[in-house]
């Protein structure tokens, strides 16, 4: 007996592992050999290509494309219409499936609406990618990046608030009250 929900218009190919309490909505396609953790939400019109791995509690909003080579760890948020790539120089007439590059989105990271993530990079834990950003290189943990090409403009807390560091290098999240220390562009949660 399946322990997840899939809308009648969703297509789920063979050999997929889908965790308990996950919901897969209208017109989404989960292709073969995917692993989707428990308590995930897959919005409508989402494509999850073969062998993609999504951790627990991953939220995928409407119209997202997740291509082969992508791994999202637990608690990742993928905003509406964002997209991953899996090859640097695609050509319709040239088959390069053997050249797919891996992309890792680490625990707790958020990617905003309409962002594009080029392949072969790592998005660090709790990083926040602004809406419409085009990410072309690795993103540090807790980094806030925006623009095209994306550039870092600060750091955020695990609750997604921009951190303002005092003279001692300490910042407090206004929502959680958690403290963070910044030294040499590295964030440590206290």
Q: What is the pLDDT of residue 97?
A: 85
Q: What is the pLDDT of residue 99?
A: 87
pLDDT tens-digit series, residues 6-61: 999 999 999 999 999 999 999 999 999 999 999 999 999 999 999 999 999 999 99
Long-range contacts of 93-100 (CB under 8 A, 24+ apart): 97/68, 100/67, 100/68, 100/69
Residue located via tokens 């998005």: 123
Domain that holds residue 149: 5-89+99-156
What's the chain's average pLDDT? 96
- Beta partners for residue 5, in sequence order: 23
Do residues 109 and 51 share a domain? yes
Do residues 68 and 146 share a domain? yes
In this structure, are residues 87 and 99 in contact, taking their beta carbons and an 8 Å threshold?
Answer: yes
Do residues 77 and 168 share a domain? no
> Domain count of the chain?
2
Answer yes or no: is 136 within a domain: yes
Output the pTM of the full model: 0.95
Answer yes or no: is 152 within a domain: yes
Answer yes or no: is 48 within a domain: yes
pLDDT tens-digit series, residues 135-168: 999 999 999 999 999 999 999 999 999 999 999 9
């Amino acid at each position: 007996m399946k322990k997840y929900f899939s809308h009648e218009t969703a297509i789920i190919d063979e050999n997929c592992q889908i965790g308990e309490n996950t919901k897969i909505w209208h017109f989404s396609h989960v292709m073969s050999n995917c692993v989707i953790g428990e308590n995930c939400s897959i919005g409508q019109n989402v494509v999850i290509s073969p062998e993609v791995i999504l951790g627990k509690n991953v939220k995928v909003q409407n119209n997202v494309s997740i291509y082969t080579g992508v791994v999202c760890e637990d608690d990742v948020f993928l905003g509406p219409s964002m997209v991953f790539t899996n090859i640097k120089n695609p050509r319709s007439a040239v088959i390069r499936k053997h050249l797919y590059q891996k992309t890792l989105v680490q625990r707790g990271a958020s990617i905003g609406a309409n962002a594009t993530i080029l392949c072969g990079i790592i998005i660090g834990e709790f990083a926040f990618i602004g809406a419409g950003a085009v990410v072309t290189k690795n993103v540090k943990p807790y980094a806030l990046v925006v623009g095209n090409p994306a550039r870092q403009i600060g750091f955020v807390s695990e609750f997604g608030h921009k951190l303002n560091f005092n003279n001692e290098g300490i910042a407090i999240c206004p929502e959680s009250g958690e403290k963070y220390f910044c030294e040499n562009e590295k964030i440590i949660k206290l």
